[in-house]
Structure 1
Amino acid sequence: MHVPGQMRRRAVMALLGTAAAGPALAQFRVEVTGVGLTQLPIAIAPFKGEAELPEKLAAIVQNDLERSGQFRAVDAGAGAGLDETSRPDLAPWRQKTADSLAVGSATRLADGRYDVRFRLWDVVRGQSLAADGFVVVAADLRLAAHRVADMIYEKLTGEKGVFSTRIAYVTKAGNRYNLWVADSDGENAQSALSSVESIISPAWSANGRQLAYVSFESRKPVVYVHDVATGGRRLIANFRGSNSAPAWSPDGRTLAVTLTRDGGSQLYTIASTGGEPRRLTQSAGIDTEPLYSADGSTIYFVSDRGGAPQVYRMPAAGGQPQRVTFTGTYNISPALSPDNRWLAYISRINGAFKLQVMEISSGNVQSVTDTTADESPSFAPNGRMIIYATRQGGSEALMTTTLDGKIKARLPGKGGDIREPDWGPFQR
């Protein structure tokens, strides 16, 4: 599994005997494309006072909501000067066919912090639906906007918003690798780790406080766990051979990993504090890329035990594996939705690598992208979107898509060869 300088899909393909294209530099901008079947028309008026802010709050809220695929933005040009303190004239918004209107303000306090407030109006019924506020430091203005978007999303859809969550991803620029932690929209990226050796397979713990990953700084793949807040880390797996593909159990006590300590690549579990691993699989093939179901009862993984890589599942304590994917002859990099309803994975189709989404109960599979170098899908914690890496327009890109593929957004990110995004959990 020692493939320095390659991302996880490329590492898995090398492990399973397939070549991959090399890296490319990337430029980024946010793009939302496609038309959803049902979208809620909403207007986000400029927040009063945001012209003096380093961040334009209304634009952040609007981009969040549009990216979800659940909302269609209505021109808010008539909203200048509105705030949450008084009832606006809703007639112009009804004429614009908006169902709802969000207004707000941002005020700098004497201590340098900002008081961010908003109100959501039902334009049709003329009712106030929600109102709230946050006092934040300047560095958290984006987070405040994401929280506003979360509240609007939950109020109008009945489901929890994911905009204030975080993502992790890896870049390679020149001879340097970086593990980044960023807002869910790709902005505000902070480097968690920088190395001249490969970093692969970042995986968030269920509480969002730790990242497991594989580092090649010892000139071989070794598993670490990294504390995001402090930057401290601990060594988890450094056994003979390859140590790779860490995946957290939902309770955070255990990691499933792929080890070659006893010969071929097989699955093991190991305490998240380290220790002696316990072997789960006993196959003559290659078993790798484990992940836990949300309830911790099942482990999904990739194996070529049937002659070509497919997704399997088995009880988390070990047991007889069952094959899950049957469409196509080469399926890797599984990701499971939090409700265990959907499985996303990468399928090789006529030489192209395509993101697929399968409804587990029916086995129905849909290809949701028109790109040909997709990799590393990861579900949003509400299960409504998937983040993945791909090549678009000749450059590397971080993308999100709705499950039906109708709404996609290209996220900004750090320059270089983009790899392996993982969407973090709801913050606890």
Structure 2
Amino acid sequence: MILRRHSLQAVLLAAGCAPLAALAQFRVEISGVGVTQLPIAVMAFRGDDAAPQKIGAIVLADLERSGQFKSIDPGLANLDESSRPEMRELRQKGADHLVVGSTTRLADGRFDVRFRLWDVVRGQDLGAQSYAVPAGDLRLSAHRIADFIYEKLTGEKGVFSTRIAYVTKSGQGNAQRHSLWIADSDGEGAQSALASPEPIISASWSPNGAQLAYVSFESRKPVVYVHEVANGRRRMLANFRGSNSAPAWSPDGRQIAITLSRDGNSQIYVMDSAGNSEPRRLTQSGGIDTEPVYSPDGKSIYFVSDRGGAPQIYRMPAGGEAAGRAERVTFSGNYNISPAISPDGKRMAFISRVSGDFRLHVMELGGQAALALTETSADERPSFAPNSKLILYATRQGGREALMTSTLDGKIKARLATQGGDIREPQWGK
């Protein structure tokens, strides 16, 4: 099987973006134990020692990070996709499933990656695939393998071959540097999509994953741009008087909700995502309205407003307050910001200030109770995985900045590999 998506490294090189260390070391740290996890043995792929990426290790870490799987040491060796494993011994080890495979360098310099998934309990072959890929796509092939396994065993789509975006700040004073990064879902393979001496904030993926909208201060004021990921081209979307901030795509990609202060205090507007229309104002409050985000069905917009005296999250029709009254959604706590709606429309993640600490929370939409997922003090900007099963966020942990993922119950968290510096503004794309 040939991977149909070009490697991110190849795409960004073609766009003139310089890569980092081409083969970054594997650095995902996982903590916590889930209530129910599938015991799985993932063997080192035959040939991994001679390959630039360790496919078996990447697959295993992907599965563990999901919170759905528990790693079992099979205590076996010299197995690959063509082997018939001894199921009785594996069952005694506690494994329900087994993944075996191989990585072979081809004469043309590409790598042949093969794997097979076994149901150890039933002794059944659950499927096999192969990929012929350049070295730059080895990590992508590992993520695709993990996606196959995840979907086969859980019945839901995997998200390991998706991408994330985030922003870092490094240096001081005139040497300060802000960078927008695009990386694999585990944080590896990061490439710089934009670098600037001025801040970059509020990155937002388009629904098809082809574009990023973000706010840049390079003009010494906040201006919204839309960036083509494949070729690095970008265009200015909003540069009106005052502040232009917090872009959010509609589910069909045709519109972008945005916060503007062109008419006084910050209010929410909507624009054609191609930039062919004047902004249309959606909110009419006397306070500050910001951080809009669409519901997955496109019928509602969630946003933050201090119209009640303190920041809380509200919901209004996508047509704005002229189409229906805005309703308050959060009632616990007196400071709730940064809403993120799960793609399945069932939950909302947000940041709540608790005794001076900013912590990640999640609540079921339609319910009142919110669950705190963290005990850290500087969480920010949650974003759901495309399958709604994990939440990406930025925080400070152990005295250093970190990108983390959390399961919906907060029991399993993973620190992702990232570039150095202050880490901000994560967003999970496709």
TM-score for both structures, normalised by structure 2: 0.91
Deviation at 1:29, TM superposition (A): 4.5
- Contact kept? 1:266, 1:287, Cα under 8 Å: yes
1:237 equivalent in alignment to 2:265: no
Secondary structure, aligned partner of 1:121: strand
Q: Which amino acid aligns with 1:381?
A: P
Between 272-281 and 208-217, report the one with greater CA deviation: 272-281
Residue in 2 aligned with 1:318? 320
Deviation at 1:388, TM superposition (A): 0.3
Deviation at 1:95, TM superposition (A): 1.1
Q: Which amino acid aligns with 1:304?
A: D
Residue in 1 aligned with 2:127? 130
Deviation at 1:393, TM superposition (A): 0.3
Q: Which amino acid aligns with 2:124?
A: Q
Q: Which amino acid aligns with 1:389?
A: A
Deviation at 1:130, TM superposition (A): 1.6
Q: Which amino acid aligns with 2:293?
A: L
Question: Structure 2 vs 1, CA of residues 77 and 191 (structure 1 numbering), >3 Å: closer, same or farther?
Answer: farther
Between 160-169 and 46-55, report the one with greater CA deviation: 46-55
1:119 equivalent in alignment to 2:100: no
Alignment partners' CA distance in 2, 1:157 and 1:340: 20
Alignment partners' CA distance in 1, 2:50 and 2:29: 26
* C-alpha distance after superposition, 1:202-228 (max 9, x if no partner): 000000000000000010000000000
Alignment partners' CA distance in 1, 2:83 and 2:334: 61
Alignment partners' CA distance in 2, 1:239 and 1:135: 49
1:60-209 correspondence runs (5 A): 60-78=58-76, 80-174=77-171, 175-209=176-210
Secondary structure, aligned partner of 2:101: strand
Residue in 2 aligned with 1:17? none
Deviation at 1:50, TM superposition (A): 1.0
1:213 equivalent in alignment to 2:214: yes
Secondary structure, aligned partner of 1:168: strand
Residue in 1 aligned with 2:392? 387
Residue in 1 aligned with 2:294? 292
* C-alpha distance after superposition, 1:288-312 (max 9, x if no partner): 0000111111100000000000000
Alignment partners' CA distance in 1, 2:119 and 2:150: 13
Q: Which amino acid aligns with 1:30?
A: V
Query: Which of the numbers 333, 348, 354 marks the counterpart of 1:343?
Result: 348
Alignment partners' CA distance in 2, 1:323 and 1:146: 39
Secondary structure, aligned partner of 1:143: helix
Deviation at 1:91, TM superposition (A): 2.1
Residue in 1 aligned with 2:31? 33
Secondary structure, aligned partner of 1:335: strand
Query: Which of the numbers 404, 424, 427 marks the counterpart of 1:422?
Result: 427
Alignment partners' CA distance in 2, 1:313 and 1:362: 14
- Contact kept? 1:177, 1:195, Cα under 8 Å: yes
Q: Which amino acid aligns with 2:312?
A: Q
Matched residue pairs, number?
Answer: 397
Alignment partners' CA distance in 2, 1:133 and 1:264: 56
Residue in 2 aligned with 1:304? 306
Deviation at 1:146, TM superposition (A): 0.3
Alignment partners' CA distance in 1, 2:371 and 2:225: 35
Alignment partners' CA distance in 2, 1:177 and 1:362: 39
- Contact kept? 1:266, 1:288, Cα under 8 Å: yes
Query: Which of the numbers 275, 278, 290 marks the counterpart of 1:276?
Result: 278
Alignment partners' CA distance in 1, 2:202 and 2:293: 12
Q: Which amino acid aligns with 1:285?
A: G
Q: Which amino acid aligns with 2:141?
A: A
Alignment partners' CA distance in 2, 1:203 and 1:81: 45
Between 81-90 and 343-352, report the one with greater CA deviation: 81-90
* C-alpha distance after superposition, 1:162-207 (max 9, x if no partner): 0000000000011000000000000000000000010000000000
Deviation at 1:412, TM superposition (A): 1.0
Q: Which amino acid aligns with 1:45?
A: M
Alignment partners' CA distance in 2, 1:112 and 1:34: 40
* C-alpha distance after superposition, 1:265-310 (max 9, x if no partner): 0000011111311110111000000001111111000000000000
What stretches of structure 1 of length at least 5 have no aligned partner? 1-27
Deviation at 1:361, TM superposition (A): 2.1
* C-alpha distance after superposition, 1:336-358 (max 9, x if no partner): 00111110000001100010101
- Contact kept? 2:255, 2:271, Cα under 8 Å: yes
What stretches of structure 2 of length at least 5 have no aligned partner? 1-25
Alignment partners' CA distance in 1, 2:425 and 2:27: 19
Alignment partners' CA distance in 1, 2:223 and 2:213: 10
Secondary structure, aligned partner of 2:426: strand
- Contact kept? 1:46, 1:76, Cα under 8 Å: no
Higher relative contact order (CA 8 A, sep 6+): 1
Q: Which amino acid aligns with 1:168?
A: A
Alignment partners' CA distance in 1, 2:49 and 2:70: 24
Runs of 4+ in 1 over 3 A off after TM superposition: none
Aligned-residue Cα RMSD (Å) equals 1.0
Q: Which amino acid aligns with 1:46?
A: A
Alignment partners' CA distance in 2, 1:167 and 1:202: 10
Alignment partners' CA distance in 1, 2:117 and 2:65: 19
Deviation at 1:111, TM superposition (A): 1.3
Deviation at 1:81, TM superposition (A): 1.6
Deviation at 1:86, TM superposition (A): 2.7
- Contact kept? 2:74, 2:93, Cα under 8 Å: no
* C-alpha distance after superposition, 1:22-81 (max 9, x if no partner): xxxxxx953211111100000001111111001111110000000000000001441x32
Quote the sequence identity (%). Answer: 70
- Contact kept? 2:74, 2:95, Cα under 8 Å: no
Alignment partners' CA distance in 2, 1:391 and 1:323: 29
Secondary structure, aligned partner of 1:345: strand
